[in-house]
A = this chain, B = another copy of it.
Amino acid sequence: MFTLLQPDPNSAARLGRLTLAHGVVETPCFMAVGTQGTVKCMTPDEMRALGAQIILSNTYHLNLRPGIEVIRAAGGLHRFMGWDRPILTDSGGYQVFSLAKLRKLTDDGVEFQSHIDGARCFLGPREVMEIQHVLGSDIAMVLDECPHYPCDRETACKAVERSLTWAARCREEAARIGLSGKLFGIAQGSVYDDLRRLCAERLLPMGFDGYAIGGLSVGEPDEELFRVVEATAAVLPRNQPRYAMGLGTPRQIVELVARGVDMFDCALPTRVGRNGTAFTRRGTQSARVAAWKDDPRPVEEGCACYCCRHYSRAYVRHLFNAGEILGLRLLTWHNLHVYLQLMRDVRAAIAAGTFADFRHEFVTNYRVNNPEGKQIDV
């Protein structure tokens, strides 16, 4: 399912191609987040127009609402939401540990209370495989335990062991039910390089279609993030895809591509857009600044997105000040374009053998500019 097309001679970056049930995905790729069966504010048509080749959706959320039987009745998630290209679904592990009220954690799975209505729920290896099978995910993820940050070594060890137990059971369960999609394992291990490597090495014999690095972006500094990803990627097979879960800022993505990561997903472009902040190739910019009051220029000069081709900064600022939904739509659109265009540029640079220059220039020019002082680390 993964073809390694071209490794970068000056870094661990790679150009590749995923061949999935619903289409082909060029890597390195970014997956927009469609938590509840919709990329927030966007239609599937608009996502196609943006050039999105794959999106992510969430087992945890969809299982709680609308419930798996509704999606089964619709003939799967693709038909339910009207998206005919690939979908990766996470297993729900991360959401159980971040959103739900935890009840009980055993090798069989995790009992928790729904963050929506407090209902008691259970997710174990069997459940997450069955649910993702019904969803019809092109790529399903194993259940894993995501420790918080900071995390002592003993807690990290235990999470690794539990994640490995669950991974093995997910593998068996997937075989038993004839899982329709591909299945990725997830390496945990917090910020401990040796635990990360150990976890990855013990996942390999289970024979997954790809390998994710999970439990990242939970508060660790960039140096630790980059170091553990590099350490983990080093032991992962060259001919299989690597996915850094829940990441990241444009700068982080470029740095992680350089460390051998092929796949990314992140809520930042959509969430930050709805909050009124634009990503640009040179950093972030609030749409509410007084300087935009009558600025006739597009949000980002030279940008080819729908927002920038049609609307001024003055208009976008007005929409946010007036609380108009079109404002959320336009910055979501722009931000997703920035992310997807970044991945196109990254791929073009690897293909052209100029990724080292691209990386240097991008990282040098990218700055965080958040005039309103919001707590967004972008």
* A→B interface (CB under 8 Å): 36-38, 40-44, 61, 65-66, 69-70, 73-74, 80-82, 293-294, 296, 310-312, 314-315, 317-319, 321-322, 324-326, 328-329
Contacts and interface: CB of A to CB of B under 8 A. Distances in A.
A109 to B, nearest CB: 25
Contacts of A311: 82
A322 to B, nearest CB: 4
A73 B321 contact: no
B322 A69 contact: no
B315 A80 contact: yes
Contact of A325 (B40, B61, B74): B40
12 contacts: A36-B319, A40-B324, A43-B310, A43-B326, A65-B318, A66-B317, A66-B322, A70-B314, A74-B296, A80-B312, A80-B315, A82-B315
Contacts of A296: 73-74
B294 A41 contact: no
A42 B315 contact: no
Q: 8 closest A-B pairs (Cβ-Cβ)?
A: A73-B294, A66-B318, A36-B322, A38-B326, A41-B325, A70-B294, A82-B310, A38-B324
A274 to B, nearest CB: 8
Contact of A328 (B69, B82, B325): B325
Given A80-B312, A315-B80, A69 B294 contact: yes
A96 to B, nearest CB: 18
Given A40-B325, A66-B314, A74-B312, 10 more contacts: A36-B318, A40-B324, A61-B322, A65-B318, A65-B322, A66-B321, A70-B293, A70-B318, A73-B296, A82-B315
Given A66-B314, A66-B318, A314-B70, A326 B42 contact: yes
A70 B318 CA distance: 9
A74 B314 contact: yes
Contact of A36 (B41, B82, B324): B324
A374 to B, nearest CB: 20
A156 B43 CA distance: 49
